[in-house]
Amino acid sequence: METFKNKIAESLAKKTNIDFNILSEVIEVPTNEEFGDFSFPCFQLSKILKIAPTIVAKSIAEDLEIKGIEKIEAIGPYINFFIDKKNLANVVIKNILKKGDKYGSSLVGIGKTVVIDFSSVNIAKPFHIGHLKSTAIGNSLYKIYSFLGYQCVGVNHVGDWGTQFGKLIVAFKKWGDDKKKYSVKDLVSLYVKFHKEAEKDEGLNEEARGVFKKLEANEIEYVSLWRMFRELSLKEFKRVYKLLNIKFDSWNGESFYNDKVGDVVAMLEEKKMLEKSRGAYIVDLEKFNMPPCIVKRSDGASLYATRDLAAIFYRKKEYNFYKTLYVVGNAQQLHFKQIFKVVELMGFGWADDLIHVDFGTVSLQEGAMSTRKGIVVYLEDVLNESIIKVNEILKNKGLTSTEQNSLAKKIGIGAVIFSALFVGRQSDSTFLWEKVLNFEGDSSPYAQYTYVRIRSLIKKVNKNINNNINYSLLCHENELSLLKLLSEFPNVITEAASRYEPSVVARYVIELAKYFNKFYHNCPVINLENEDLQNARVSLCVATSIVIKSGLNLLGVDCPEKM
């Protein structure tokens, strides 16, 4: 499809003597199909030429001819271009069948590494639905960037270090039980108790800070407790990642950088950027209208920012990244602005390659989630509920129990992931059970169902598609709009990558499924006397199934073969 746009821009450039790239940006896809496949609004040109836009449109369109474009029409101030539809089916379907599941991929990223920091759960805290967005978006961006040829490194920057562990250790020593087998939920209740007690006794916080300081200094007793907390938490978290079918290339979390923060402090000192203020060491950012970036607490312990800076330099050295994407909520916007600014001030031009892919806050109907107050929904519970609901639906479909279980997982998990990816990342959202567990309309089961229908059709026709297909028979309105949409898939991937926005792909997949279902209801495939038309339709079905599956995979959603 891009080639059509380029052709139009080229011939317009020839005609008007205006730069190709400028024209290419102005060319748009009309909202209404009756205005063609591409259009060129003449307002800006009319301003330059000082001629009314309708006249400009008319005079340019008059004797314009472009290969592959069937009709060029000036309507008011717009020039509308209509693609030659017979040619379209031929080009699009052949291309998809040839490339298969590689259709839409590219090599633009070859030789470049993208580090994606996502999910990043906190040890000894619930893996809750607030983590779903980061987890799903990060995983999808990983797949999208890989599809475009980039080498990706998925990092789970585990929150396994910091004052919170001082708190937890204090709580455990006061109220814990050495012999009991602990779960994350037990640790959370200890943590909650700590905060309750600390409200009455300010000394507890003091104590916790002291304990963390000693933990950083490798005090054996504390380190072994910390290790225990970490191990049991990771074990539970990995169970959830397994359900989600998400893998990481690195689990280097905050504790990993404990022995690397010294180098960062030394570098800052050497560059004379460090200032002592109120007992702490800071990088002053007042000039940039930001609070200071605190690098070292007054008691000498490290902070979130220090460890994140250490992580940046470690990753630069280790991966020499083209970009690093931080898929982290917008509540941490200031934090990232600060540390990116510090890197820039240190004189590293590649500070621009650090990108905070932020997203809106997820809250519950009763309000903001709060681990301390116990207002929280565990992600694992949501996933399991979803699987149960799918199982309920699949009950009477005559499947074996292993078949049913595996299907329920693909569909149920997919629905949860998809619900997090369908809305734009920036908007704040409220977690609603009925929304996440809705399997109709804008949901992955809808797309999966459509895919399964197509597979079933293809199977029933049971025919090898040969090369002599008369694609020009595909001229039904539903066929043409489906073809046009299929041709846009590569652009959709590129857009999703450049905006760090998997929702672009999610919306596309739903639209594609919708277009197919219209075709399905209006254009029979199996009961068809005209064999040439049947062949052409089957190939359209195959092409569509490839793209739906590919799109879902890029979102991290599996595609079942029947349901």
377-416 residues in contact with RNA (CB under 7 A) are 390, 393-394, 407, 411
Euclidean distance between CA atoms 90 and 472, whole angstroms: 7
Using the contact rule CB under 7 A, the part of the chain among 60-68, 263-271, 376-384, 525-533 near RNA is 525-533
The H-or-E segment that residue 295 falls in is: strand 293-296
Task: Find tokens 């892919």 and name the residue.
Answer: 357
**Does 452 interact with RNA (rule: CB under 7 A)?**
yes
Distance CA 247, CA 238 (A): 9
Q: Which stretch binds RNA (CB under 7 A): 91-99, 266-274, 449-457, 548-556?
A: 449-457
Binding segment (CB under 7 A) for RNA, from list 11-19, 29-37, 99-107, 262-270: 29-37
User: Looking at the DSSP assignment, which residues form a beta bridge with residue 299?
Assistant: none
Do 323 and 391 touch, CB atoms closer than 8 A? no
Distance CA 515, CA 528 (A): 21
Smallest distance from RNA to CB 423, Å: 4
User: Among 117, 207, 380, 442, which residue interacts with RNA (rule: CB under 7 A)?
Assistant: 442
Residue 206 contacts RNA per CB under 7 A? no
47 interacts with RNA by CB under 7 A:
yes
Give the end-to-end CA distance of the chain in Å, rounded to a whole number: 33
- Smallest distance, Å, CB 177 to RNA? 25
Task: For CA atoms 91, 96, 97, 99, give the dihedral sign.
Answer: positive
Q: Which stretch binds RNA (CB under 7 A): 129-137, 234-242, 262-270, 503-511?
A: 503-511
Task: Assess 525 for contact with RNA (CB under 7 A).
Answer: yes
Among the residue ranges 15-23, 239-247, 316-324, 429-437, the one whose residues contact RNA (CB under 7 A): 429-437
Tell me if 238 contacts RNA by CB under 7 A: no
Q: Which of 80, 105, 119, 233 binds RNA (CB under 7 A)?
A: 80
Question: Within 250-269, which residues bind RNA (CB under 7 A)?
Answer: 254
Identity of the amino acid at 511: E
303 lines the binding site for RNA (CB under 7 A): yes
Q: Which listed range, 12-20, 42-50, 132-140, 464-472, lies at the site for RNA (CB under 7 A)?
A: 42-50
Q: Which is nearer to RNA, 152 or 407 (CB)?
A: 407
Query: Min. distance of Cβ 391 from RNA in angstroms?
Result: 9
Task: Give whichever of 152 and 170 is closer to RNA, judged by the CB atom.
Answer: 170
**Selected binder of RNA within 113, 119, 134, 503 (CB under 7 A):** 503
Contact 322, 389 (CB under 8 A): no
Buried b (16+ CB within 10 A) or exposed e, 189-219: ebbbebeeebeeeeebbebbbebbbbbbeee
| Cβ 270 to RNA shortest distance, Å | 21
- The one catalytic residue in 5, 67, 94, 128 is 128
Q: Contact between 562 and RNA (CB under 7 A)? A: yes
In which region does residue 119 sit, left (phi positive, over 0), alpha (psi from -120 to 50) or beta (all else)? left
Of the candidates 85, 125, 157, 323, the residue annotated as catalytic is 125
Amino acid at 474: L
- Nearest residue (CB) to RNA, 152 versus 211: 211
51 binds RNA (CB under 7 A): no
CB of 419 to RNA, least distance (A): 9
- Nearest distance in Å: CB 440, RNA: 4
Window 109-138: contact mask with RNA (x via CB under 7 A): -------------x----------------
Nearest of 193, 175, 168 to residue 373 by alpha carbon: 193
Q: Does 330 bind RNA (CB under 7 A)?
A: yes
3-state class of 494 per DSSP? helix
Instruction: Find out whether 173 and 110 touch, Cβ atoms under 8 Å.
Output: no
**331-350: contacts with RNA (CB under 7 A):** 331-335
Residues 478-497 that bind RNA (CB under 7 A): none
Which range binds RNA by CB under 7 A, 34-42, 59-67, 84-92, 135-143? 34-42
Is 335 one of the catalytic residues?
no
CB of 444 to RNA, least distance (A): 9
How far is the C-alpha of 134 from the C-alpha of 422, rounded, in Å? 13
Question: How far is it, in rounded angstroms, from Cα 131 to Cα 367?
Answer: 16
> Tell me, what DSSP letter sits at residue 431?
E
17 Cβ contact partners less than 8 Å away, ≥ 6 residues apart: none
* Catalytic one of 131, 143, 167, 549: 131
Closest distance to RNA from the beta carbon of 61 (Å) = 12
**Site for RNA (CB under 7 A): how many residues?**
99
* Whether the Cβ atoms of residue 344 and residue 351 lie closer than 8 Å to each other: yes
- Tell the burial category of 264 from Cβ atoms under 10 Å away from its Cβ (0-12, 13-18, 19+): buried
Backbone angles phi, psi at 494, to 5 degrees: -60, -40
Stretch that binds RNA, among 6-14, 134-142, 278-286, 549-557 (CB under 7 A): 278-286
AA identity, residue 172: F
Q: Cβ contacts of residue 153 below 8 Å, gap of 6+? A: 113, 114, 115, 116, 249, 250, 315, 319, 321
What does the alpha-carbon distance between residue 62 and residue 227 come to, in Å, rounded to a whole number?
76
Scanning residues 350 to 369, which ones bind RNA (CB under 7 A)?
Answer: 360-361, 363, 368
User: What are the Cα distances from residue 136, in Å, to 143, 244, 498, 555?
Assistant: 11, 9, 17, 8
Contact 88, 96 (CB under 8 A): no
Query: Which residue's CB is nearer to RNA, number 149 or number 424?
Result: 424
Q: Is 287 a binder of RNA (CB under 7 A)?
A: no
Q: Which of 68, 176, 292, 490 binds RNA (CB under 7 A)?
A: 292
Is residue 213 within 8 A of residue 104, CB to CB? The reply is no
Which amino acid is located at 54 in the chain?
A: T
Q: Closer to RNA at the Cβ: 1 or 452?
A: 452
Sites for RNA among residues 148-187 (CB under 7 A):
159, 161-164
Catalytic residue status for 128: yes
> Which are the catalytic amino acids?
125, 128, 131
